[in-house]
Amino acid sequence: MMGNPLHLLMNPRSIAVAGANNNPSKMGTIQALNLLKDGYRGNFYPIHPAEKTVLGFAAYAAPEDLPEVPDLAIMIVPSKAIVPLLESFGKIGTKRAIIITAGFKETGAAGLDMEIKINEIARQYGIRFVGPNCMGIINSQLSLNTTVLPTAKEPGLLGFASQSGTFLSQSLPYLNKRGIRFSKAVSMGNEANINMVDALEYLGEDEQTKAIILYIEGIRDGKRFVEVARRITPHKPVVAQYVGGSVSGARAGMSHTGAMAGPDFLYNGIFKQAGIIRVNTIEDLYAHGWTLATQPPLKGRRVGVITNSGGPSSTIAYTCDAFGLEVPRFSDGLQKEIRKHIEPHASASNPVDMTFDLSMGKLALTLPEMMMKSGEIDALVLHGAMMSGYLKEIYPNLKELIGNISLDEFLKVGQLDRKIPDGTFDLSRIHKMPMLISTFFDHEDNYIQGYLDTNNPVFYSPENTARALASLYRYKQIKERAPHQDVALPKIKKPAKEMISRALTRKQKALDEYEAKQLLACYGIPVTKETLTGKVEEALAAARQIGYPVALKACHWEIMHKSGKGLIALNVKDEIQLKKEFKNIQKNAGKKTPVLVQKMLKGSREFLAGMTRYAGFGPCVVFGLGGVFTEVYKDTTLRLAPLADADAREMFADIRARQLLDKFRGMEKVQLNRLSQILRALGNIALLHPEIAEIDLNPIIIDGAEPVVADALIVLESNIK
């Protein structure tokens, strides 16, 4: 924990702020005020070139004038002033800084130069800093808040690392109204020094933080990100939103924090591998994160729904079904019990729909308790609890009838204003079962405010309530995964290394199919039986040995993609046809070209596997549906190398066509251990041979039960990433 640079940065005993003054319209002033007024109790030193006092505190002209060395320097000065200022702090021995100021890498080359410069200074003086171009931090344990808006009064449970400052400052009023409170939050900015992975690691170790949310525009150190996240997710949930994976999303991120984005597909894969739950809206990021931070673990997928209204009943039930949860019909016994408390026309089967009914004690306590105790559900969704909110709404129309008493009086003495029974807000804690609240009312209602105050997640949408439960269920699956095992790389195979060296010496940009398969075979990947030859007689002899039908393919490294050019003949059924096709291929190639004579595999199930390198992440392995349908369904999934067997198994479960791997229409179950071996070998090959840029195995044909690589491409590159 102490090794993480955010530990000291989040817990400073003293802070110097440069950029605040006594003008309330200045951003720096507002940030300093939030720091002071939200409750920070450490020493506070304003740095100001002219003012004697700032916000009632003695001001100092420069760091060197300070009476003590502050633990943390916060800088909101113009970008040109950052370099000398940071150096001054470095000289006096300050080791942590937050650089709020924007105008660095995100603006182009000049800004990047400046950013490199500040990082050099930081290294020179051993300073670790957050930013530049950020909104700073929140540590609710210290009441430390450096953002432009005040934060919640009570400490929270949700940790947040965000590549947007807005999402932890502009959104604070929004979050307060939803009862969502941060434990610690970091606005990452350009991540010149401390980055997202540092923040993730810090939040993973922070005891106050019960769940972590990440807003991501691009990860700089993907490999470490996966390692760190994989350590955290078995014991603490992590939810992430990633928006860099589209053209305009990537452009927006680039001009926002200079983030280097990668394809959506890449992030999808690594999130799964690391056990991170992905969401696609900031609303879900907050709400699912808060649900995970506050609710007991979900033990199964059976959801009880109780409402005073059929519409929300149905939409919640539908959404549960759509997201892999279950709304089981209750046993006759339980239904009978419930029936005693509801109108004859109401429904007890689950969803329990009391129909429009103001008996809040039943809706919010008696019946939920009965359902929770029944053993028939694993979670509860409650829609419709309300009292003062409803009374406030109907008061204007009722006023005259009730003798023009005031609203306050109406709320106090009105017969509907029964006290909320004890235990109403503690159901989830008492019964150790997640309980989520759906409502069309808000904090202006006393029930809703009660739920918000007691960390019961409240949703202003019935469907979103159900979807948050799905994230709880997803986390259950993540926790139940086999523990991650480190992967030991095999030794380099000498023939493989030699084959690559030879090809590079010959300035080949790729291996030819024959070489590629030889290399794959070195690492235990099953490939088609085949012979390479330039002579038709040898081809005939090979075909005789392999057995007809065979496939013929032109084979030369320059021919990377053969289809549609008359360079392949499939299902060659006899000698006559072989001779003809052999000649044809030579003709279509335009020159004498070696031909591969290959066993024609019979399986009608075709998959693909591959390896690609992504900047910051390193080699990744892809698996999915192959053959003709590759581009049609784009049904593939990805993991970072090296792969454990468990990673490969998860990839199998990940593709939509997963049932093709099982017994299917009279075909055998695929040998998954062999398929796993192929995927793991691909990752290992990539790690052992950095000269390989890319591998593409398509199709991998399932021959009976056995996966065999029928075509392979290995691309080499001189500029090794």
Positions in 553-612 near a copy of itself (CB under 8 A): 563-564, 604
310 touching a copy of itself, by CB under 8 A: yes
Smallest separation (angstroms) from a copy of itself to the CB of 487: 31
Q: Which stretch binds a copy of itself (CB under 8 A): 21-29, 370-378, 471-479, 504-512?
A: 21-29
Provide the token pair at 451. 């739920």
Identify residues 661-680 at the interface with a copy of itself (CB under 8 A). 665-666
**Ranges within 220-239 binding a copy of itself (CB under 8 A):** none
CB 384 within 8 A of CB 309: yes
- Residue 563 or 719: the one with the smaller Cβ distance to a copy of itself is 563
Please select the residue that binds a copy of itself; options are 57, 265, 548, 629, rule is CB under 8 A.
629
CB of 312 to a copy of itself, least distance (A): 6
Angle (deg, nearest 10), helices 264-274 and 645-654: 120
Residue with tokens 């994976």: 245
Going by C-alpha positions, the residue among 332, 431, 319 that lies closest to residue 373 is 431
Among residues 443, 460, 533, 560, the one that binds a copy of itself under rule CB under 8 A: 460
3-state secondary structure 85-111: HHHHHHHHCCCEEEECCCCCHHHCHHH
Residue 20 CA to residue 30 CA, distance in Å, equals 8
**Min dist. Cβ of residue 158 to a copy of itself (A):** 16
Q: Which two tokens stand for residue 224?
A: 């470490």
Exposed, middle or buried, 122 (CB in 10 Å: 0-12/13-18/19+)? buried
Report the chain's terminal Cα–Cα distance, integer Å. 32
Under rule CB under 8 A, residue 191 binds a copy of itself: no
Task: Pick out residues in 276-295 that bind a copy of itself (CB under 8 A).
Answer: 280-283
Q: What sign does the CA torsion over 16, 19, 23, 29 have? A: negative
Using the minimum distance from each CB to a copy of itself, give the nearer residue, 111 or 618. Answer: 111
The alpha carbon dihedral of 451, 456, 461, 463 has a sign of: negative
Burial label, 316 (beta-carbon count in 10 A; 0-12, 13-18, 19+): buried
Per-residue contact string for residues 355-394; x = within reach of a copy of itself by CB under 8 A: xx-x-------------------------x----xx--xx
Lay out the site mask for a copy of itself across 134-173 (x = CB under 8 A, - = otherwise): -x------------xxx-----------xxxxxx--xxxx
- Residues 89-128 touching a copy of itself, rule: CB under 8 A, are 102-104, 106-107, 111
CB of 157 within 8 A of CB of 204? no
Applying the rule CB under 8 A, the residues between 42 and 61 that interact with a copy of itself are: 55
Are 24 and 55 in contact, with CB atoms under 8 Å apart? no
Q: Which of residues 60-89 bind a copy of itself (CB under 8 A)?
A: 79
At its nearest, how many Å lie between a copy of itself and the CB of residue 654? 14
Enumerate residues 500-559 that contact a copy of itself by CB under 8 A.
none
Indicate the residue among 316 and 641 with the shorter CB distance to a copy of itself.
316
Using CB under 8 A, which of the segments 440-448, 533-541, 584-592, 611-619 binds a copy of itself? 440-448
State in angstroms the smallest separation of the CB of 82 from a copy of itself.
Answer: 12
Question: Which is it for strands 618-625 and 636-640: parallel, antiparallel or unpaired?
Answer: antiparallel
Site for a copy of itself in 466-495 (CB under 8 A): none
Q: Report the candidate in 402, 366, 404, 399 with the shortest Cα–Cα distance to residue 382.
A: 366
Residue with Cβ nearer a copy of itself (256 or 680): 256
How much is the CA Rg of the chain, to the nearest whole Å?
32
Provide the minimum distance between the beta carbon of 288 and a copy of itself in the complex, in angstroms, as a whole number. 14
Closer to a copy of itself by Cβ: residue 162 or 294 = 162
What is the closest distance, in whole angstroms, from the C-beta atom of residue 174 to a copy of itself in the complex?
4
Measured between alpha carbons, how far is 463 from 52 in angstroms, rounded to an integer?
Answer: 56
Q: Which tokens sit at 643?
A: 């792969």
> Is 347 a residue that touches a copy of itself (CB under 8 A)?
yes
Which pair of tokens denotes residue 15? Answer: 């802070």
